[in-house]
Amino acid sequence: MEALIEEPGTADTTWESRLEAKALIPGTSTGVAFKLWVGGLLLVLLVGIVAYVNQYNNGLYVTGMRDRISWGIYIAAFVFFAGISMAGTLMSAILRITRATWRTPITRVAEAITVMGLITAGVFVIVDMGQPLRLYQMYLNGNWQSPLMWDMMAITVYLTSSVVYLLVPMIPDLAFFRDRLPGRVPHVQSWMYGTLSFGWIENPPQRRALAKAVAILTVLIIPVAVSVHTVLSFVFSTTVRVSWNSTSFGFFFVAGAIFSGVAVLIIVFAIVRRRYHLEEYITERQFTYLGYLLAAMSMIMIYTNATEFITKGFKASDDDLFAFRELFATKFAPLFWFYFFGGLVLPVLIVAFKRTRTITGLVVASSFAVVAMFIERYFIVVAGMSVPLMPYEPSSYMPTATEWAIVAGGFALFMLFLTLFTRLFPIVAIWEMKEEHETRVEVAP
C-alpha cells in the first residue's frame, strides 16, 4: 500500500515529504483486518438496530425502566458519550490557545471524537424517548424553563460549533488530499475532498479567514463545552432526587467529562498510531503528557467524590444514608468500589511509576478509567433513582437484553464513525504540524 503513495519526483526523505506520505496512507489503504473490523462493528450495530426496532414496536416496556426508576442505562450512555466529547475541546482548544506545540499531531482525532461522541450521545436521548417522532415537540411546544430544553440548547450549540471547529482547520489538509489523491480513490471520495476544501488555494484572504474562524471557535468552544456539561448536570440536580441534590454536580460532571475524554483519547491514539504507522509524530511524549493529564484528572475526580460525599455524609439525612448504604455497602457496592479503586486510584498509580508509564500501561489505565466512568454514570443515574421519594418499597432496575444490545450498538456506532473518519479524512493536522516544525527549525539555530 505504501508504494502507492510514493511518487517518482518526491521520493526523497525530507521531514515534510515523509509526513505527507504518512498522512495519505489512511486515505488509500484498506486491509483485510480493516474490513473485518468494520464488518464486525456493522454486525453489532445491526443487532442494536434490531433491538431498537423491537423497542419501538413494543414500547419502553421491553426495557428494565419502570415508574420508579425511569432512567437507566440509556441516560448513563448519553452522559458518558457527552462526557467523551469533552476530549476534543480540551485537547484542541485549550492546548491551541496556550500554544502547546506537542498537541499538533493529535488535535484532529480529538476534534473528531468530540463530534462523534456528541452524535452518539444524541442517539441515546432519542432511544430513551420511546417515540422519537416527539422530538419536534421540543421546538413546537418546548418549555424554555425546563432544564431539558437548556440541555438541548447547549448541545445544539456545542454540536454545531464542534462540527465547524472540526471542519475549518481541516480545510488545508482536505485541499492537500484533493490535490494529491485524485485517481487513487473512488470518485465520490475525491468529490468530497474537493467540496469540503472550499476551493482552498492558500491565498492571503483565505489564510486570514481561516485564522479568524479558528480564533473565534477556539475561544468560543471552551465556555460552550463547560456549559454543556454543567447544563447536563442540571438535568439531574434540578430534579427532586436525593442523590442528585448537589450544587457541585456541574463541577463533578465537567471533571468526569475531561477525565473520560482524556482516557478515550489515549486509547484511540494508541490504536491510530499503530494502525497508520504514525510513531514518528505521535510519540511517547504525547502519551506521557496525556498520562500526566489523566493522573491529574483522576486525582481531581477522587477529590470531587470526596466533596460530594462529605457534604452529604456530614448531615447524614435518612435518605442520604439510604443512598450511601446502597452505594457503599449493598446494591451498588461492587460497582462503586471498582470505580473508585480500579478507575480512579489505579490510573494514578500506573502513571506514578516510570516503569508502568509506558504506552501499554497508559492504555491499560485508560481502559480502566473508561469502564469506570461508564459505571459511574450508571450508578449516578440508577442509584439516584432508586432512593424512594415516599415510603414505598425501594425499586430495582436491571437493563434488559434489548437495552444491552442497543448500548452495544451505540458503542459500535461511535467506533464505526471514528474508523470511517480516520479512513477518509486527514487524521493528522499536516499544515499545523508543518507550521510548528518550521518555527521550531527557525528557533533552533
Judged by the rule CB under 8 A, the positions of this chain that interact with another protein are 138-139, 141-146, 149, 153, 156-157, 160-161, 164-165, 167-168, 171, 175, 178, 194-201, 203, 205-206, 209-210, 212-213, 216-217, 220, 224
For residues 350 and 259, what is the distance between their CA atoms, to the nearest angstrom?
15
Burial profile 379-413: b = 16 or more Cβ within 10 angstroms, e = fewer: bbbbbbbbbeeeeeeeeebebbebbebbbebbbbb
Is residue 378 within 8 Å of residue 399, measured between CB atoms? no
Rounded distance between C-alpha atoms, residue 376 and residue 64, angstroms: 19
> Is 369:259 a contact under the CB 8 Å cutoff?
yes
In the complex, minimum distance from the CB of residue 251 to another protein, in angstroms, rounded to a whole number = 20
Q: In the complex with another protein, which residue's Cβ is closer, 157 or 348?
A: 157
Q: How far is the CB of 153 from another protein (least distance, A)?
A: 5
Output DSSP code: residue 19: H
> How far, in Å, CA of 85 to CA of 161, rounded?
12
Beta strands in 2-134 (DSSP E): none
Q: In which residue are the cell numbers 454536580 written?
A: 249
The angle subtended at Cα 361 by Cα 360 and Cα 365, nearest 5°, is 120
The distance of closest approach from Cβ of residue 245 to another protein in the complex, given in angstroms and rounded to an integer, is 16
Which residue's CB is nearer to another protein, number 174 or number 412?
174
Q: What cell does 185 get?
A: 480513490
Residues 6+ apart with CB under 8 A from 198: 171
- Provide the minimum distance between the beta carbon of 131 and another protein in the complex, in angstroms, as a whole number: 20
* Min CB(216)–another protein separation in Å: 4
Give the residue with the Cβ less far from another protein, 144 or 353.
Answer: 144
Choose between 204 and 391: whose C-beta lies nearer to another protein: 204
> Which CB, 189 or 206, lies closer to another protein?
206
Report CA dihedral (314, 320, 326, 332) to the nearest 10 degrees.
-80
What is the closest distance, in whole angstroms, from the C-beta atom of residue 122 to another protein in the complex? 13
The distance of closest approach from Cβ of residue 195 to another protein in the complex, given in angstroms and rounded to an integer, is 5
User: Considering the complex, what minimum distance in angstroms separates the CB of residue 433 from another protein?
Assistant: 21
- Residue number, 138 or 408, with CB nearest to another protein: 138
- Between 27 and 347, CB nearer to another protein: 27
Q: Is the dihedral of CA 41, 46, 51, 57 positive or negative?
A: positive
Cα distances (angstroms) measured from residue 439 to each of 180, 297, 343, 434, 444:
25, 31, 39, 9, 8
Choice between 8 and 205, CB closer to another protein: 205
